[in-house]
Amino acid sequence: MGDSNGLAFIFGALLAAGIAYFFLGSNGKTSSPTILATTGPVLHPSEYRKFKLTKKVVLSPNTARYRFELPTPESTLGLPIGRHIQVMVPVNGSPVARSYTPTSTDNDRGYFELVVKTYESGAVSSYLHHMQVGDEVSVRGPRGTFQYKPNMVRALGMVAGGTGITPMYQIIQHILANPEDKTRVSVVFANVSEEDILLREQLELWAADHDQFDIHYVLNNPPAEWTGGVGFVSKEIIQEYLPAPADDVKVLLCGPPPMVKAMGVLLGDLGYEAPRVISKPDDQVFKF
């Protein structure tokens, strides 16, 4: 019995010391448990990290919303607003990477979401399309140079084409969730057909609920009852729906390269600063 009591005492002392070290750290100062190291931002700028698909919602025949799990329910992706991530997947035995902007923000804890349109020739989008819940992708970031800051300008104009709406969506969501951000946001959103308009329901809810946000659609192939814009985004559409050029105005562009190039020319002709080939954060017209 004496030996048993002695061993129990020693074991208890060692256990107590271990617990104290775990919670206090080697310097005796209070610190959080080690597990909390995974509750902050989980992205790494150069190291690819794996994330598991937990949910897939089909939005249209060729577009879906993909939800990926973060390490803990309190984890955040750690992506500044306006930046994007790089997603890498194996294709025919070789790694292939593409850039995507999550439609979620760091206000969404425990997961991040991507809205991706599948293209027949798109290696990564096709891989995502065929993923099953439980499959993993490799991600790193943040990437890109633009970072939105509240009230950085009086008015923000956006021209998006197709899936080019995703970086705009992220920024709009962030602005409208902050009562202190008074930035006025005007969007021209171009698509081929009405079925191609991504995230339309949420965009229209925001437009109905927030006076500082409005959106105008343009379709190449509109239905008979269509009341929005028709054809391509023109000078007249830009003049009517985007803020006029001024020192406290910025315009963001994202979409197919030919469209972005054409919009840069139109904006330059209308008096905005002509965009550079590679945009810099302080440019009046920024191309994602």
User: Which residues form the catalytic set?
Assistant: 84, 100-101, 254
Task: State both tokens at 274.
Answer: 């002509």
Give the residue from 186, 152, 138, 136 showing the smallest Cα distance to 81. Answer: 152
* Dihedral (CA of 160, 161, 163, 164) sign: negative
* 113, amino acid identity: E
DSSP state letters, 21-67: HHHH-TTS-----GGGGGSSB---SSS-EEEEEEEEEEEETTEEEEE
d(CA 184, CA 232): 24
- First vs last C-alpha separation in the chain: 74
Q: Is there a cis peptide before residue 142, judged by omega within 30 degrees of 0? A: yes
* Dihedral (CA of 252, 258, 261, 264) sign: negative
